[in-house]
Amino acid sequence: MRYLENKKRLIGLMLLAPMLMQAQQLREKTDYDRFVEAVDEYVPAPGQFINTMPEYVEGDTPETMAAKCTTILRANSTDDVDNQGLICLGAYGGYITFHFDHSVANIEGNDLRIMGNAFSEAGSSVSGSSEPGIIMVSKDVNHNWLPDDPWYELAGSADVDSVGKVIYNYEITYHCQPMEAIPWTDNQGQEGTVARNGFHKQEYYPLWIDAESLTFSGTLLPKSGTRSTSGFVQQFYREGYVDNRPDDVTFDISHAVDADRQPVQLDFIDFVRVYNATNQQYPMVGETSTEIRIAEDLHLEASLDAIEQAASGITDLRVSTTTLPCYDLTGRSVTPSQRGIYIINGKKYFIK
């Protein structure tokens, strides 16, 4: 039944293809899926689980490692958590980029579910294994199916809960040093290493990346480690991060912000990136590094409906200027100074 419905839908959408080029993306297939279609990039920072989650074998390339991540995320399309593989992003900045087989619509409420392996310490509601990753979203505005378009972070709770303690525009560089602790320097004048430990004996620097150093940038969350009876755990951030706490795994595209932390209004997104947003290490657990095992569009049918609706044209016409918050089609806040299509309250308007 689902197959037939989607097939009918595809035929209808193919007829609208020229207009779709102006709007959202839809892969050519007959049955759409709420889970990730493919991983575009897997660029972890060094770490104790790098080259093992997923496993590197000699000859692997960025493309084959991304394909291994795709296999893991595709295999995890069940709730059988005991049998799910994990993708590890390594130390601060390491990231993964993926897409679905359709644009994900930003509807009322949360839009994406992304899960790692965060857990509470002995039922604690405030701490446990928390390795927060920041989510970024992007729209394929140049329609080339590649994640080479403007990116926006989804603002998490630290923006308001830890004012003055979050470092925006953080940058860190790791230097390859085979089978040794991995040295790093950052743009805050700090340096350190990703330490080796007795548990994980493989190389910690991603072996398929042919570069002597790796530089990552983004937002750095404040350290969260705290002593516990079992050693060290991390305080949970309140909300808005992947692999942060077991009860916070769904996210709203409406939390997108630009580089100045100003809200961005996106009607759809085509690519999702998650990067490790912490730079910290603790005894026994080592560096905190975001893991991912599931990513899905929370509302596949609503996304497909919205694509269909958007492909059928502009929602409304308006013939004068507006004083309401107004965004261009890439999601930038603008003051409309020329005629064109703008997004106001989530709908497209023509202003002339």
User: Which chain residues interact with Ca ion by CB under 5 A?
Assistant: 106, 111, 116-117, 131, 140, 142, 144, 146, 148-149, 243, 252-254, 291
Comparing CB distances to Ca ion, the nearer of 140 and 248 is: 140
Comparing CB distances to Ca ion, the nearer of 90 and 351 is: 90
Comparing CB distances to Ca ion, the nearer of 133 and 206 is: 133
- Report which of 224, 247, 246 is spatially closest to residue 237, judged by C-alpha positions: 224
Closest distance of CB 129 from Ca ion, Å: 6
Residue with tokens 């899905």: 296
Comparing CB distances to Ca ion, the nearer of 220 and 285 is: 285
Closest distance of CB 7 from Ca ion, Å: 27
Residue 296 pairs with which residues in a beta bridge?
35, 113
Closest distance of CB 298 from Ca ion, Å: 9
Closest distance of CB 159 from Ca ion, Å: 18
The Cα–Cα gap between 165 and 162 comes to 5
The Cα–Cα gap between 115 and 178 comes to 32
Q: What three-state secondary structure class fits 163?
A: coil
Burial class (CB in 10 A: 0-12, 13-18, 19+), 333: middle
Closest distance of CB 177 from Ca ion, Å: 25
The Cα–Cα gap between 326 and 299 comes to 26
Comparing CB distances to Ca ion, the nearer of 12 and 283 is: 283
The Cα–Cα gap between 303 and 101 comes to 11
Integer CA distances (angstroms), 207 to 54, 64, 97, 217, in order:
12, 12, 19, 21
CB 257 within 8 A of CB 153: yes
Closest distance of CB 229 from Ca ion, Å: 20
Structure tokens at 246: 């077991």
**Interior/surface letters 11-33, b for 16+ CB within 10 angstroms, e for the rest:** eebeebeeebeebbbbeeeeebb
Q: What three-state secondary structure class fits 259?
A: coil
Comparing CB distances to Ca ion, the nearer of 70 and 97 is: 97
CB-facing half-sphere around the CA of 239: CA atoms within 13 A: 8
Comparing CB distances to Ca ion, the nearer of 176 and 241 is: 241
Comparing CB distances to Ca ion, the nearer of 249 and 351 is: 249
